[in-house]
Amino acid sequence: MDALGTIIRQQRKAVSLTLQKLATMSGVSASHLARIEAGERFPSARVLKKIAVHLGYEDDELFTLAGYLSGPSHRVEEKGSSYKGKLAPDVASALAREPVKVQREVIKILAMLKSVATDMSQEKSKKGK
What ranges do the domains of the chain cover?
Answer: 3-123
Question: The dihedral of CA 84, 8, 110, 97: what is its sign?
Answer: negative
State mean pLDDT over 4-16.
89
pTM: 0.54
What is the CA angle 108-9-30, rounded to 5?
Answer: 135
pLDDT tens-digit readout, 88-121: 666 766 777 777 777 777 877 877 787 788 778 8
Say if domain 3-123 classifies as CATH 1.10.260.40.
yes
Q: What is the C-alpha to C-alpha distance for residues 100 and 126, in angstroms, rounded to an integer?
A: 39
How many Cα atoms sit within 13 Å of 80 on the Cβ side?
A: 0
pLDDT of residue 83: 38
- Per cent of the chain over pLDDT 90 is 26
pLDDT (tens digit, 9 = 90+) per residue, 33-48?
Answer: 999 999 899 888 889 8
